[in-house]
Chains A and B, each alone.
Chain A
Amino acid sequence: MKAQKTSSSGRRNRSAKKVFQVCSLLLLAASIFLGLLTPLLADDPKPDPAGIATGDKSNAVDGGGTAFMVSEPTDKTAPNYAQAKKDFDDFKAQADKEPLAVKLADTVGHVRVATNAAWTLNTGYLVLFMQAGFALLTCGLVRKKNAAHLMMLNFAAYVFAFVAYWAVGYAFQFGAVAVNAAPTNLGGTPTLNHFLLGSGLWGFLGGKGFFLAGPAYDAGSNVLILFEVVFMETAGYIIVGSICERITFWSFILCELFVGGILYPVFGCWVWGGGWLSQIGTTMGMGHGYVDFAGSTVVHAIGGFCAMALSVVLGPRLGKYGKDGKPRAFPAHNIVFVVTGTFILLFGWMGFNPGSTLGATDLRISVIAINTNLAAIMGSASAMLFWYMKFGKPDISMACNGMLAGLVAITAPCAFVGPTSAVIIGILAGLVVCLGVLFNDHVTKIDDPCGAISVHGFCGVLGAICLGLFADGTYGAGWNGVGATTYLGKAGQGVTGLLYGDSSQFLTQLMGAAICAAWAFGATFVVFKIVNAVKSMRVSREAEEEGLDVPEFGMVAYPEDSLHATEA
């Protein structure tokens, strides 16, 4: 009996290995092909790996973004040519008189970029630490018999999603960022300037910087890579909370490669890489284009709806639904992990949102940090009180989910709203996550052990919509190239929501969030429905009953509690 079991599990491993090998080979071949393609596009600005030339007098700007340097106007037919020419002549006369000042501006510009690079890197490190938070949170929420499995998924997510992002993800997402969305705070990354699909204002996929080599081997670009890869990783962890306790490790690796290489970068390119969704303000007159400041949709809803599709493909955990169709509770095995993990996530979010300015010279960071905290506490308060009133006791895991819901929902609007709106957004998110968890458990019957779909999917969409409602116009003038001089008839008017008079922004947000959910759910569902048809992504019934720790990884999380430790 034992021999038979070993040989069948050996067969299973071998064919799983085969699927895995074929997929990785395909991915490698595709990325090498793309990598070879890029150097052929000649006539490019040179990357600056040493960082010596990144940041000069052109980066010396004041608090409002007005440049120290005035450039000579070239278009003589432009309506404001005369004024622009006069400004340039005045500047030139002054500069000729004070050459040392112009020289000093080089230093000022370099220090400005260096300040922003330091800020962006350090906030990126905070976001990196969120991995530990996710690991503790999701591990605590599952049953003891799957604790090692959960830790391994969280750990491997970082590893494999990073591999995919290194090979193709970053290039797909930011390979054309300099075309429409150059990160000027970091020196502008001028080498990332080519769309693989589309061009100009209608870009669909970036095409420079495969394997982080060539055009991406640049000091400014590497700041961006560090910050963006940890964002992508966040989407990578989110799915763990939904698919755990039943997914095989080989198929989990495929999921992570898919998220890091394709799913996340594509939508990320559309919104943050200068792609078409960010530019519909210019091309179609829709507000400031689709705006998502730090990733309610780009990161969280992508992860949340990908998790939803995977959970549908996998089906619920054994025993989750009884014969009467009623959901059964699988209580968390370590609530201490859950709360500690949530606090680590809150701490990391202080990098996630304020860091998304990509610069400390943008003093809006303080407002963002406070908004983020306000939404977090209000999300938790409303979830706690909702549960208290409905079930008589405040569920600790839902209190934590409520805090994360508030954080997810404020992530898109954090830079554009005031404190009162942040409070309202937090309260709404806390209610949405409670209703979402109950809805999934009792109505859709999509099994979501850690509430990832409700926290990240539903509240991510809520965040994008709230931006379209509550943005007060005090920040983001000229966002996505819209309204650089005036917007809604006012100079300096920034991104504005429905309640402050811009209905087109609200519609844009609705559309963008819907596209995000459809892309994340649709693409994931199609790809993994096929994978699952070729080979089941679920572990065997026996493995699931025993707990995945030993069948999948050969060890348990807490050996002192287990006979496995003493068996010879």
Chain B
Amino acid sequence: MKKIEAIIQPFKLDEVKNALTGIGVDGITISEVRGHGRQKGHTEVYRGAEYKVDLIPKVKLEIVAADARVAQIVQTLTDAARSGKIGDGKIFVSSMEDAIRIRNGDHGDSAL
């Protein structure tokens, strides 16, 4: 079992979501986040005083999937979220120990 975390451009969310639903991914959790990578943001002027905009709004998707599905999901994610410009984001994959469905106490892949 793996957890896939993808940080993507907010305006790509709908496209990514549709692509994932298209390949049968049932569970997605998203959150609005801010951050920066190598692209360090820029300065703006407010009423004559400068300020840095270096924490840029992004959307984070979290998907937990069975090992066999990870490659396909990552590929779909990459294709759908890519615009080819700086700031497209990153995907992180990590191992997940267990998953529990709260309603009935199922464990492991069957809880996904």
Which residues in A have some Cβ–Cβ distance to B below 8 Å?
A: 326-332, 391-393, 395, 397-398, 437-438, 441-442, 451
Contacts and interface: CB of A to CB of B under 8 A. Distances in A.
B45 A391 contact: yes
B102 to A, nearest CB: 20
B17 to A, nearest CB: 24
Contacts of B46: 329-332, 395, 397
Interface string B18-53: 000000000000000000000000001111111100
Contact of B48 (A327, A330, A393): A327
A142 to B, nearest CB: 12
A395 B49 contact: no
Contacts of B44: 329, 393
Contact of A395 (B47, B50, B51): B47
Please provide the 9 A-B residue pairs with the shortest distance between their CB atoms, ordered closest to farther: A329-B46, A329-B49, A329-B51, A327-B49, A331-B46, A391-B45, A438-B48, A441-B48, A437-B47
Contacts of A438: 48
B50 to A, nearest CB: 7
Contacts of A331: 46, 51
Contact of A393 (B45, B49, B50, B51): B45
Interface size on B, as a range, is: under 10
Nearest to A320: B49
Contact of A442 (B45, B48, B51): B48
Contacts of A441: 47-49
Contacts of A393: 44-45
Contacts of B47: 329, 395, 397-398, 437, 441, 451
A330 B44 CA distance: 12
Given A328-B51, A395-B46, A397-B47, 9 more contacts: A326-B49, A327-B49, A329-B45, A397-B46, A398-B47, A437-B47, A437-B48, A438-B48, A441-B49
B56 to A, nearest CB: 15
B31 to A, nearest CB: 15
A69 to B, nearest CB: 58
Contacts of A397: 46-47
A398 B45 CA distance: 11
Nearest to B52: A329
Contacts of B48: 327, 391, 437-438, 441-442
User: Which among B44, B45, B46 has the greatest number of chain A C-beta atoms within 10 A?
Assistant: B46
Contacts of B50: 329
Contacts of A391: 45, 48
A326 B50 CA distance: 9
User: Which among A326, A327, A332 has the greatest number of chain B C-beta atoms within 10 A?
Assistant: A327
B81 to A, nearest CB: 28
A339 to B, nearest CB: 15
A456 B46 CA distance: 20
B49 A328 contact: yes
Nearest to B48: A438
Contacts of A392: 45
A451 B44 CA distance: 19
Nearest to A395: B47
A243 to B, nearest CB: 17
Nearest to A321: B49
24 contacts: A326-B49, A327-B48, A327-B49, A328-B49, A329-B44, A329-B46, A329-B49, A329-B50, A329-B51, A331-B46, A331-B51, A392-B45, A393-B45, A395-B45, A395-B46, A395-B47, A397-B46, A397-B47, A398-B47, A438-B48, A441-B47, A441-B48, A442-B48, A451-B47
A395 B50 CA distance: 12
B44 to A, nearest CB: 8
B54 to A, nearest CB: 14
B51 to A, nearest CB: 4
Interface string B46-80: 11111100000000000000000000000000000
A393 B50 CA distance: 13
Nearest to A442: B48
Nearest to B51: A329
Nearest to A393: B45
Contacts of A398: 47
A532 B104 CA distance: 64
Nearest to B50: A329
A432 B49 CA distance: 18
A331 B50 CA distance: 10
A327 B51 CA distance: 10
A330 B51 CA distance: 8
Contacts of B51: 328-329, 331
